[in-house]
Amino acid sequence: MTTFHLSGYPRIGAKRELKFAVEGFWKGAKSEAELRETAAGIRRLNWAAQKAAGADLLPVGDFSFYDHVLDLLCTLGAIPKRFGFDAANLSLQEYFQLARGNATQFAMEMTKWFDTNYHYIVPEWHADTEFSVNAQNLIAQIKEAKAQGYDIKPTLIGPVTLLWLGKAKDENFKRISLLPKLVAAYAQLLRELAAEGVDWIQIDEPILAADADENWIKAVETAYKELGNTGVRIIIGTYFASVAEHLNLLKSLPVHGVHIDCVRAPEQLAVFADAWPENKVLSVGLIDGRNVWRANLSKVIDTLKPVQEKLGNNLWIAPSCSLLHSPQDLAVEEKLDSEIKSWMAFAAQKLVELGVVKQALAHGKDSVKEAVAASDAAAADRATNKKIHNEAVQKRVADLPKGADQRKSPFAERIKAQQAWMKLPVLPTTTIGSFPQTAEIRQARAAFKKGELSAADYDAAMKKEIAYCVEVQEKLELDVPVHGEAERNDMVEYFGEQLAGYCFTQFGWVQSYGSRCVKPPVIFGDVSRPEPMTVYWSAYAQSLTKRPMKGMLTGPVTMYKWSFVRDDVPLSLVAKQIALALNDEVLDLEKAGIKVIQIDEPAIREAMPLKKAQWDGFLAWACEAFRLSSTGAEDSTQIHTHMCYSEFNDILPAIASMDADVITIETSRSDMELLTAFGDFKYPNDIGPGVYDIHSPRVPTAAEVEKLLRKAMEVVPVERLWVNPDCGLKTRGWKETIEQLEVMMEVTKKLRAEL
């Protein structure tokens, strides 16, 4: 029989039970015992669901109170010394302090896990980092699963990926130099697990999919030569991109199998199926672990059949990656359109799909006739359903004339047309869009949504906020004011709610970090804009001031990247459709007299493919989609874009090709280092580096801001330079916001006077 296994399952609970328990514990409202009980309950339900669907090897070690990378660091005794904690006797309180900081120590950093929206705690590596194994937590969970009668396969992140994803905290120290010590600790851990009776273990090395340098790939070889004889059978897990280039390495390692992601990289299946040794396990992930769509079971079974003929029981099946990235259970959705729901599968449904595939491989497709017929029917319906397929949208994209993504004139001419009416001083000032989202604003929005606040009262409440926001900016003498985004819950959701082709779930939560979960919108069909989305609010804001009001939109890449996206057409097409919907809005804003429009694209960097070889292709269509969103705008209309902190150095030509008249970027925390790259590159258009950090309520001193601004003036020609905060101000309070902006304005005026 084919083995059905998985490496991880959502751990927050179908209704976010873990989130509420953890937050209750933080607040002191729940005891540790209560929290542990909730956690054990979630694990029990998860394992039971997996077993009921036919899974053979259930994951252990995928559960975490905060983050599984942090758990692994605790298991390996590799927590930062600066906390002064004893890893061998770490309390739950201390564990959370590592993630969230305490009175004397700042929290460990976190960052996005590859191209997902999951954030892991970043390991801190020092030249003198030592490891010591504390397997008790993991072993306790192994015992727990076994006591419930399950066959298990613990999952861990592998040593090479763990080292690589951490940060070297000492100078002249290379984290790879820790490899021998770290591998020795893993070997010790595996021996302890073997002594517990663990037979199989999955060790994930997603680094293999990520274009790492050769010395890191060499490290994989070194590590597994040592881990291969610890008494457990190892399956190496890979995901998110192809690892076909490492086929020979993977074949040669003394491990018992490999898992490959054939959703993200279907082309690697043929390579592996052809050359994989028959005495080793090949686990094929054909059920998408990261998206919300039902699989085409017939296709999956037909694809696997020949691989099974070749490999027999050494073909294993699994989701493409851990189901951590998928919402938990579609069954609890009560409000989803029933047709759209019939096309979807969350983690629980994906388990059932894998159960069907397993059955079909064992007893033939006929043995699962009904399930396959239902899956076929859903696929057929999706291929033609009018809710998905909008001919007008498709025709509009297909008929785009060549050059439709280009502005009327080059930047040099546009900027003159803009300056002619805007009459801005040197070092013009602006903000990134949002102003404080106060409790009153959030209450008003929530009450309106629930029907407790009438449309007229809601309208009045929002107008009052906008009027206040504009008044504050008038007083500050900000040159390009904004309306403040009071009416927006979230920069993607707000637009998704108004665009055709988007829908929303009630419980489609996915863990983002710690107890924080996000509920991404779902793009299920062709996207279009039935009605203007922002014109009403922006026009109202403009009516309150003579200064040029900046309209505020979210760009096509960010709109899809922070959503679950349909998987039946290329991403490039989805981006183009969104771009055209945004373009309708840009032209309507223009007509309404809003002639400065910002199209935010903070997600461009994280949307980039893992493989460098695919970057150019991606950037070509992503930047084209951005340009398309303002196609047809007058030269005199000024298009801004904004990006949060990112490594842009290697993609500056693409950023320049977006051809925004003004780009604002987050630079203050990097001490303008990022801006230097723009300067060296001779970035041609206007640029607004952030002159203070908006993540903190602290008001910067004038001297600090002046130092940053002077640095900016050294690297960017002053006639191209804007002055603004790092990012939106929605997480700040009004008091500090005004004080921070006062400092920014004071410094700007001082430097203007020198020019």
Site of interaction with ligand GLN (CB under 6 A): 432-434, 491, 552, 600, 602, 642, 644, 727-728, 730
Q: Token pair 């959503």 is at which residue?
A: 563
C-beta closer to Zn ion: residue 268 or 664: 664
C-beta closer to ligand GLN: residue 157 or 625: 625
> How far is residue 247's CA from residue 308's CA, in Å, rounded to a whole number?
19
Task: Identify the three-state secondary structure at position 597.
Answer: strand
C-beta closer to ligand GLN: residue 123 or 548: 548
Please give the full DSSP string across 126-194, using - where no structure is assigned.
-TT-------HHHHHHHHHHHHTT--EEEEEE-HHHHHHHSEE-STT--GGGGHHHHHHHHHHHHHHHH
C-beta closer to Zn ion: residue 232 or 658: 658
Closest approach of ligand GLN to the CB of residue 728, in Å: 2
Closest approach of ligand GLN to the CB of residue 584, in Å: 19
580's contact among Zn ion, ligand GLN, none, with CB below 5 to 8 A by partner kind, is none
Tokens matching residue 66: 């905060």
C-beta closer to ligand GLN: residue 545 or 646: 646
Closest approach of Zn ion to the CB of residue 432, in Å: 6
Strand partners for 284: 260, 317
Distances from the Cα of 535 to the Cαs of 469, 480, 543, 713, 751, in angstroms? 17, 17, 12, 35, 35
Number of residue whose CB is nearest ligand GLN: 728
> How far is residue 470's CA from residue 131's CA, in Å, rounded to a whole number?
56
**In the 3-class helix/strand/coil scheme, how is 617-679 assigned residue by residue?**
HHHHHHHHHHHHCCCCCCCCCEEEEEECCCCCHHHHHHHHHCCCCEEEECCHHHCCHHHHHHH
Burial class (CB in 10 A: 0-12, 13-18, 19+), 449: exposed
Kind of pairing, strands 167-168 and 152-157? unpaired
Task: Identify the three-state secondary structure at position 488.
Answer: coil
C-beta closer to Zn ion: residue 152 or 660: 660
Closest approach of Zn ion to the CB of residue 539, in Å: 25
Q: Do 686 and 661 touch, CB atoms closer than 8 A? A: yes
Closest approach of Zn ion to the CB of residue 664, in Å: 8
Closest approach of ligand GLN to the CB of residue 634, in Å: 23
135's contact among ligand GLN, Zn ion, none, with CB below 5 to 8 A by partner kind, is none
209's contact among Zn ion, ligand GLN, none, with CB below 5 to 8 A by partner kind, is none
Closest approach of ligand GLN to the CB of residue 71, in Å: 29
529's contact among ligand GLN, Zn ion, none, with CB below 5 to 8 A by partner kind, is none
C-beta closer to Zn ion: residue 438 or 646: 646
Q: Do 638 and 420 touch, CB atoms closer than 8 A? A: no
Kind of pairing, strands 58-60 and 500-503? unpaired
Q: Token pair 């694990």 is at which residue?
A: 43
C-beta closer to Zn ion: residue 98 or 603: 603
Closest approach of Zn ion to the CB of residue 600, in Å: 7
> How far is residue 277's CA from residue 428's CA, in Å, rounded to a whole number?
65
> How far is residue 712's CA from residue 706's CA, in Å, rounded to a whole number?
10
263's contact among Zn ion, ligand GLN, none, with CB below 5 to 8 A by partner kind, is none
Q: Token pair 């080059």 is at which residue?
A: 410
> Does the annotation mark 695 as catalytic?
yes
> How far is residue 451's CA from residue 445's CA, in Å, rounded to a whole number?
10
Closest approach of Zn ion to the CB of residue 645, in Å: 8
Closest approach of ligand GLN to the CB of residue 107, in Å: 21
C-beta closer to Zn ion: residue 287 or 486: 486
677's contact among ligand GLN, Zn ion, none, with CB below 5 to 8 A by partner kind, is none
579's contact among ligand GLN, Zn ion, none, with CB below 5 to 8 A by partner kind, is none
Q: Do 322 and 287 touch, CB atoms closer than 8 A? A: no
C-beta closer to ligand GLN: residue 74 or 432: 432
C-beta closer to Zn ion: residue 268 or 437: 437
Q: Token pair 């903190």 is at which residue?
A: 696
Site residues for Zn ion per CB under 5 A? 644, 727
Q: Do 244 and 272 touch, CB atoms closer than 8 A? A: yes
> Among 5, 119, 640, 695, which one carries the catalytic annotation?
695
User: Which residues make Cβ contacts (< 8 Å) with residue 121, sequence separation at least 6?
Assistant: 66, 67, 69, 70, 73, 98, 99, 108, 109, 110
552's contact among ligand GLN, Zn ion, none, with CB below 5 to 8 A by partner kind, is ligand GLN
> How far is residue 450's CA from residue 441's CA, in Å, rounded to a whole number?
14
The 10 Å Cβ neighbour count of residue 714 is 12
491's contact among ligand GLN, Zn ion, none, with CB below 5 to 8 A by partner kind, is ligand GLN
Please give the full DSSP string across 349-394, using - where no structure is assigned.
HHHHHHHHHHHHHHH-GGGGHHHHHHHHHHHHHHHH-TTT--HHHH
674's contact among ligand GLN, Zn ion, none, with CB below 5 to 8 A by partner kind, is none
Strand partners for 316: 3, 283
Tokens matching residue 634: 């007058």
166's contact among ligand GLN, Zn ion, none, with CB below 5 to 8 A by partner kind, is none
Return the CA Rg of the chain. Answer: 27
Closest approach of Zn ion to the CB of residue 37, in Å: 40
Known catalytic residues? 695
